[in-house]
Amino acid sequence: MNLLLLIVGFLLFLLGLGYLFRPQLVLRFNAFMRDAFFKDSVVLLSNRRVGILLLLLSFILLVFTGRNHR
């Protein structure tokens, strides 16, 4: 869990630096994510598949983090 927090913190740090020094790069990344993952067709046509995948991933993460605290 600490590794996950460290990775998220590092990504947010890089994003902050990107906004300060390379805003055009952040805008291109935003356009890519919008076109690749957040299209309406993806959400409408494969909502069950994505939903099941997210639920499975969350269950796996919750089980493994629960084992570390015992």
> Which has more confidence, 67 or 19?
19
pTM: 0.48
pLDDT at position 17:
85
For the chain, the domain total comes to: 1
Instruction: Say yes or no to pLDDT of 70 above 60.
Output: no
Q: What is the CA radius of gyration of the chain?
A: 16
Q: Report d(CA 4, CA 33) in Å as an integer.
A: 21
Query: The dihedral of CA 43, 47, 49, 52: what is its sign?
Result: positive
Range of the domain at 46: 2-68
